[in-house]
Amino acid sequence: MVATEAYVALSGVLFSIGAVGVLTRRSAIMIFLCVELMLNAANLALVAYAYRWAGTGLLTGISGQTAVFIILAVAAAEVAIGLGILVAIFRNRASTDVDALSEVRL
């Protein structure tokens, strides 16, 4: 059986790749995709720890998986709102380049 830390390390790698994507991509849609990648990396760590602590009691193990379920619902809501904002911005600006969106600043 694969050790838990291997799963957590893979989760860390995926999270870092997603973070690099958020820092380097310039189109807002691509930034959203990278945020989804980071969310999934966090989900993988939660499921791995749910497996790790499964033997110590029923709730400890299964609540990790339940947290992933809730994260999934939050991600769905976030995508709906985020893509709605993107479509509204694109309608006004004909661009989703985040460097050009500089009106909302102090």
Partner 1 sequence: MVTFVILAVVSVVGALGVVLLRQPIHAALSLVGTLLTLAVLFVTLQAHFLAVIQVLVYAGAIMVLFLFVIMLLNIEQQRKEIRPWLRWVAYGIGLVAAVGLIVGALLDPRQAPDAAVARAALQGGNALLIAEVLYFEFMLAFQLVGVLLLTGMVGAVALVQRRRPPPGGVSAATAREAVLTDRPGRPSSHPVEAGGR
Q: Which of residues 19-78 bind partner 1 (CB under 8 A)?
A: 19-21, 23-27, 29-30, 32-34, 36-37, 40, 43-44, 47-48, 50-55, 57-59, 61-63, 65-70, 72-78
- Give yes or no for residue 101 binding partner 1 (CB under 8 A): no
Question: Which of 42, 91, 98, 106 touches partner 1 by CB under 8 A?
Answer: 91
Question: Which of 42, 86, 104, 106 touches partner 1 by CB under 8 A?
Answer: 86
- Rounded CA separation 75/103 (Å): 27
* 97 SS3 class: strand
Amino acid letter, 100: A
Task: Find the shortest distance in angstroms from Cβ 106 to partner 1.
Answer: 14
Query: For 62-99, b where at least 16 C-beta lie within 10 A, e where not — what string?
Result: eebeebbeeeeeeeeeeeeebeeebeebeeeeeebeee
Closest CA to 73 of 39, 38, 30, 31: 39
Task: Find the shortest distance in angstroms from Cβ 68 to partner 1.
Answer: 6
Task: Find the shortest distance in angstroms from Cβ 94 to partner 1.
Answer: 7
